[in-house]
Structure 1
């Protein structure tokens, strides 16, 4: 169902979208599918609601978010199961995602009260100078399938905390999770038109969002290529944009690192969600002196991972989202093997029902001529590269185009600080494979994105500054 102006409804033309389970290939459910017309209606409703919502106090807006937190906690298990059914991640990981989604609502429920302006020292005794921060306006949000609940709240929570109204388009693969989240907003009794949900064709809905002058802000999470397209289309109306785009994260292991911790770091950053995350490790750089030992330890742990339908107990790695994703992973592994890569474990499809499964894979002897060294694999494949010294690894770890996340394992405090300065990434974890928290900014540099999500920075993305100069003289 679509959710427009506080009401659940079908599309005007009656079209539907089939939602498939990637673990079984079976139909889960059909949902209403709208297009330009429904998106335009949602934008008009959001524009009307903005007139009142922008005047609400931060405490009032925060109270609605706090109520949404309660509703999501009540429905947490149901939402998690829906995530697993429509995108495949193991149920335990889905529950972690829902907890993360709630944490963003909870954080911005409080942060809504903390939108501050400032007073500027005047250059003339008769003047008083101020900067006010006001909501940017109607916001269009486009979210991906790999985190179908937390990506929604990470965008919507700061937007409505700032006083904006929102029209959201979820990925066509995972609309059911979005519906579950919007049920919580509905039950929290947000005023009509503050949040709206449109489901349907990406190009048709995206074109209306980018071309409609009533949309003043566009926020998107997805591939770099699509992000560039949306930016070009938004240019004609000069919209404010924030883009969380592709990544190609390096994970560096120095000879002095705690190898057990580094191995666990790879397991967490590479194989969670079957490697289908934008901050997933893509290149593992290991000091030459410990590369063989590290490879053996990692392969031993990876072989323990259980592949299967995420709804079942004891599953560590679920399916890839679709057949195209599976084919891409296969092509990267085949390319690596042709170029003398050595498969330490995995390297094959897993035939489970009609799902899109691939074995968790470790490849040794990886080098810079392989596709996997420059293209985002988005799958459970861990290539191990080697390096000689710090100067070499700084040069190789920094990617020409991507700059989202990087990880480094070392017990040398000075080296850790040097890596923080030299690595060209928006997020860096030093001996920390899980750095993401709601109170901190999330986002990349270069072609990995524009703007931030999370923390105070995420709130500022939905605010405009208004400078006021008051002449107090006679």
Structure 2
């Protein structure tokens, strides 16, 4: 762990194994901390806060630019670390590292654009000023599926705003975080400005929500845990940002470019092997193009190369662990039991080179209905459920039939339909004829039970700032 500028073992001396999900091999043992370690990290952030908050925006920006340059110089090694611990193909891991670096560079610029305002006065000899200040110490908890970019997406705006930070990554993928903090050390980031604690989720998060000096919690993970954080943080009125589950609809109308839609679906669904909160979970296809869409999709699915992400040409890697593999299989079996048909895939891969990994075949299900688990529950895996529809209203109503509201996708050439459907979809991000929604300059976040707050762009910076009114009378 990295606390107050030092690399430390856990207070209790415990360590935790990290395994490659493609091979099952042990690749590292890392410190596994708890309550005392979290308290030490928060105290370090508290001591560092006055100095870091008082730094000029230019100095904070310079640190971030240095970090960005060091990431870019080391991007290939960072990508390999990411692939080894998380499983995604090496090319995809490299894209994540570069994406994460973009957040650092973007917020280096945003640090210089934290503007205030002069308001019209209500009285003579008065001036009303609005200033913006860092919220304070930030506790950030990041997931295993994007172990590099999720950290930079939270940490860069926090540092740009003048906050100090304690990061807790997933114990399943801590190596990317450790490598990133090595870069912070090399960049000369002031001691305590950014701290890394790895370990027991319950103990560490307990410190985060109960410590009086932690003023902001930023969490990416499950809706269930997010709700617990919100409830606990409310007791001390801490600010929270929650990026939670997703259950994205992917709607293909009969006037869509079918090849474009299929390519977009494959790119979206098999990014990180379906283990993203924005990947398509329910694929609605208008009935009169369903057969054509299915044929094109099936042919392209069969061409995907599955394997260890470190190997050249691999497009689909393993799932993160055995429990994830089991959950995907349960959803597929439930769907088949209730009347769905497997068109492609449908099984774990357990033989040959796949024997020790967590691999599941890219799978297509047809005749999926609302009674099936896969329609109702988020799928973190490589399964495409096809759901036919007839009318625009039917597609929108079924798409909205979820407690989640993170991302949605629509394929159509009709401008009027684009506007009508996107207006009615209850999702924080809607991709039209494309599936990329994570841009550094744009707000990332959802509606309903997909969370609170936004990351990215100027919107992400706002989450780490407070407003202060100065009423000056003279």
The bucket for the TM-score relative to the shorter chain is: over 0.9
1:425 equivalent in alignment to 2:427: yes
Q: Which residue of 2 aligns with 1:411?
A: 413
Shift of 1:400: 3.4
- CA deviations over 1:317-375 (Å, ceiling 9, x no partner): 11100111001100110011111111110001111131110000011111111111110
Residue matched to 2:463: 461
Partner in structure 2 of residue 375 of structure 1:
377
Q: Say whether the 8 Å CA contact 1:66–1:105 is kept in structure 2.
A: yes
Question: TM (normalized to structure 1)?
Answer: 0.98
| Residue number in structure 1 paired with 2:359 | 357
1:385 aligns with 2:387: yes
2:346 alignment counterpart: 347
Residue aligned with 1:362, SS: strand
For each residue in 1:70-111, what CA deviation from the matched residue of structure 2 results, as whole angstroms up to 9, or x when unmatched? 111121111111111111001010001001010000100111
Partner of 1:448: 450
Contact 1:248/1:399, CA 8 A, preserved across alignment: no
Q: Secondary structure at the match of 2:470?
A: strand
The answer on 1:308 being equivalent to 2:307 is yes
- C-alpha distance in structure 1 between counterparts of 2:364 and 2:473, whole Å: 68
Structure 1 gaps of 5+ residues are none
Q: Deviations over 1:262-318 (max 9, x none)?
A: 001110111111100000100000001101110111111111111111111111111
Match of 1:176 in 2: 175
Q: Residues 54-133 of structure 1 correspond to what in structure 2 (within 5 A)?
A: 54-133=53-132
Whether contact under 8 Å (1:287, 1:386) holds in the other structure is: yes
Partner of 1:470: 472
In the alignment, the residues of structure 1 paired with residue 175 and residue 393 of structure 2 have an alpha-carbon distance, to the nearest angstrom, of 48
1:227-238 → structure 2 map (5 Å cutoff): 227-238=226-237
Q: Which residue of 2 aligns with 1:188?
A: 187
**Gaps spanning 5+ residues in structure 2: where?**
none
Number of residues paired by the alignment? 471
Q: Distance in 2 between matches of 1:279 and 1:8?
A: 35
- Secondary structure at the aligned position of 1:30 is classed as strand
CA distance in 2, matches of 1:54, 1:434: 34
- 1-structure distance, mates of 2:104, 2:421: 33
Partner of 2:203: 204
Partner of 2:322: 323
Alignment of 1:22-61 (within 5 A): 22-61=21-60
Q: Distance in 1 between matches of 2:147 and 2:52?
A: 26
Bigger mean CA deviation after superposition, 445-454 or 9-18: 9-18
CA contact (8 A) 2:247 2:402 kept: no
CA-to-aligned-CA distance 1:383-425 (integer Å, 9 cap, x gap): 0101111111111111331000000000001111112211110
Matching residue of 1:226: 225
Kept in 1: contact 2:429–2:446 (CA 8 A): yes
The aligned residue for residue 252 of structure 2 is: 253
Contact 1:360–1:380 (CA<8 Å) still a contact in 2?
Answer: yes
Cα distance in 2 for residues equivalent to 1:76 and 1:108: 19
Task: Provide the rounded CA distance (Å) in 1 between the counterparts of 2:400 and 2:142.
Answer: 27
